[in-house]
Chains A and B, each alone.
Chain A
Amino acid sequence: MNDSILLDPTAEQAPTQRARLARPVSLEGKVVGLLDISKPRGNVFLDRIEEQLAAMGVEVKRYSKPTFTRVAPTELKQQMAAEVDLLVEGLAD
C-alpha cells in the first residue's frame, strides 16, 4: 500500500502547504530565546544578538543544547516553549 498519499478529510478551504506561524509585528513586550547549539563560536554570534536586543529593551533568555550532534532534549524544548515568545537558533559555525 502506498502510504505517501493521503486524501484530505477537510473541506479543503486551507492550502495543502501548511502556513508558517505569523511573525510578530514588533518585539515589544516579547521574550526572545537564544539557543546555542554548542558549535564553536556560536556564542560569539549570539552574544552580539543579545547585546542588540538588550539595547532595544527586549528581554532575552539564553539556552544551549548539550551537543550539536543530537536534537534538543525534550525537556529543553518544553522549557523554551514555556518561557519565550520567539527563538533565535545559531546554526553551524
Chain B
Amino acid sequence: MNRVLPDGLIVVAKADCPTCRLVEPLLAEIAQSDQLTVYVQDSAEYAADLSGSLYDKTLEHSYRLGIEFVPTLIRVENGKEVERTYGWHKEDWRQLSGVATLGEELPVMRPGCGSKTLEPGISEELELAFGDFKLQSREIDIAGADDPMETCYERGWSDGLPVVPPTPVRVLRMLKGTERKPEEVVGLMPPDLVPVSVEKVAINAVLAGCKPEYMPVLLAALEASLTDEFGLHGLICTTMFGSPMIMVNGPAAKAIGMNSGVNALGQGNRANATIGRALQLIIRNVGGGRPGEIDRSTMGNPGKVGFCFAEAEDSDWLPLAQERGVAPGRSAVTLFPGEGVQGIVDQKSRDPESLARSFALSLRTVDHAKLAMAGDAVLVVSPEHARVFIDAGWSKQRLREELEKLLLAPGEQLVAGAGGIAEGIPARFKDQQVPKFRPGGLLIVRAGGTAGLFSAIIAGWAASGPVGSSPVTREVNI
C-alpha cells in the first residue's frame, strides 16, 4: 500500500481494551515529544483531549493500517511505516517513542486486545468498503420494503425452497473458502453454454446455504460435471429421471462434517444437503437448465433438489475414489447421473453368496428387468451388509466380479417380446449371455447407519456410457 501516512507516531486503540486504558495517560507525554495521531476504534472519548485523536468510526484507518491488535504503536518516517509494536511492552514503547522514562509506573508488559477490524462479520465489510477487492457480478438493488427472500423467489433463483439472499458480504465470505480467483472461469455451463466463474459458483453456494469451507468440494463437483464424459448437457435436458449425484471420498468429507452414516442419503446434514443443491442451482441460474424449459424430465426425482453424500470408508474395502485411481489420503468427488433410491431389504442372508444373489436379483430392475447395458448403477452397501462380505474375505472388487457373473442372463429372456412384454433388448442378442451392466457400469460404495440389513440401488441414466453420461471422478483441491 503506497498511502502517505502522517509522520511521527500512530497509536491505534480501543476504549474497552484494558491495556489501551493503561497506556492512555502516557499518550499526552508522547505527544509532547513527537507528532502523535491516535485512532480510536470504538469511542470518541478515549484520549479526547489530544488534538491528534480521531474516532475511527468506519474503521477505515485501522483497516488500511492492517491492525490486528490494540494498542498498536507505529513509527512513520517520510510517510512510510518503519516500525510497529502491539500490546504494551515497556521497552518497545520507550524505544519507538524515544521517551526514555515512558510508563515508569506501569508493569513491564501487558498483552492487548483483538482489533475491532477482525471481529466476526466486520472484516469482509471492511474489505468490500476499503479493499482492492471488487466483485464482478451485476448488483441488483432491491427496494428497502422488499423481503430479500421473496425477491429471490420472484427472480426465479430458487428451486422452490427458500434461498439465502446473496449479499456482497456473504459472497465475499464464501469466496474465502477457496484460493481460486473469483474471476477464474471453471468452464462453460450447459445448457446455455455460458462461462461460469468462481464468483458465480460462490453466489449460488450462498443461495444454497453452503459454508465457505464447502467450496473446494463444490468446485471439484462442478468441474467433474463439466467434463465431456459426464455429458451434463444431455442429462439436464433428458426426459428421464437422472441428475448429477455427488459422492465424496477422503479427508475433506470428514473435515466439512459430511454424513456417510445414519440417513446418509437423506436430509439433515448441511454439507450433504447444500453442496448437492448448489450444483443444481448453478445448473438452474447460470446454465439456464430449468424444469419445464430445457429440463424436460417427465417425472424428475427428489434428488434434483440436490443429491450428495460421503462414502463410509472402511479399511477393509477400497474407497470408490481409490478404485478410480485417486491416491490414498486424497479427497475426491465422483459424479454419477443418479435417479432415486431403491432399497434392497435382505435380513436373512448371512453368507456372501446368498447376499450377492440377493443384490443381483434386485439390480436386475435397474431401468427395467428386461433391459441391459443401458443404465449404470451405484450399489450402496450398508455397513451390516458389508460386514457379511468382509468377514468372508470378499473385497469390493470380488463382490463386483461375482455380481457381474450373477447378472449374466440368457438373451432369449430379455429380447423384445419375450415373456409377453414388448419392451426388451434387440433380437440379435437372443442366443447370447447378456451382462446387465456395461463394463465399469456398476459402482459400489459403503454408506449408511450401522444398524440395518438393508442396502440401496441408485440407478443411473439409461443413456449411460459414451452415448450419454459416464461417472467422473475429480480430486478436491483447495
Contact = CB atoms under 8 A, between A and B. Distances in A.
A8 B196 CA distance: 13
A12 B196 CA distance: 11
A4 interface: yes
Interface string A1-44: 11111111111110010100000000000000000000000000
B393 interface: no
Given A10-B285, A18-B155, A5 B194 contact: no
B137 A12 contact: yes
Contacts of B287: 11
Nearest to B151: A6
A8 B203 contact: yes
Name the interface size band of chain A. 10 to 19
Interface string B195-213: 0100010011001000000
A5 B141 contact: yes
Q: What is the predominant secondary structure among interface residues of chain A facing chain B?
A: loop
Contact of B140 (A6, A11, A13): A6
Contacts of A3: 148, 165, 167
B135 A11 contact: no
Contacts of B140: 5-8, 16
A9 B200 contact: yes
B288 A11 contact: yes
Contacts of A2: 167-169
A7 B286 contact: no
B171 A7 contact: yes
B39 to A, nearest CB: 24
Contacts, number: 78
Contacts of A16: 138, 140
Contact of B166 (A4, A9, A12, A13): A9
Contact of B138 (A1, A8, A18): A8
A53 B140 CA distance: 40
B137 A8 contact: yes
Contacts of B121: 1
A1 B169 contact: yes
Contacts of A1: 121, 125, 167, 169-170
Contacts of B139: 5-8
Nearest to A8: B138
Nearest to A6: B140
A7 B142 contact: no
Nearest to B148: A3
Task: Rank and list the top 5 A-B pairs by shortest CB-CB distance, nearest first.
Answer: A11-B194, A8-B138, A9-B203, A9-B285, A7-B137
5 contacts: A1-B121, A4-B142, A5-B168, A6-B167, A13-B194
Given A8-B139, A11-B194, A16-B140, 15 more contacts: A1-B167, A5-B139, A5-B167, A5-B168, A6-B148, A6-B166, A7-B140, A7-B167, A7-B203, A9-B137, A9-B207, A9-B286, A10-B157, A11-B288, A12-B138
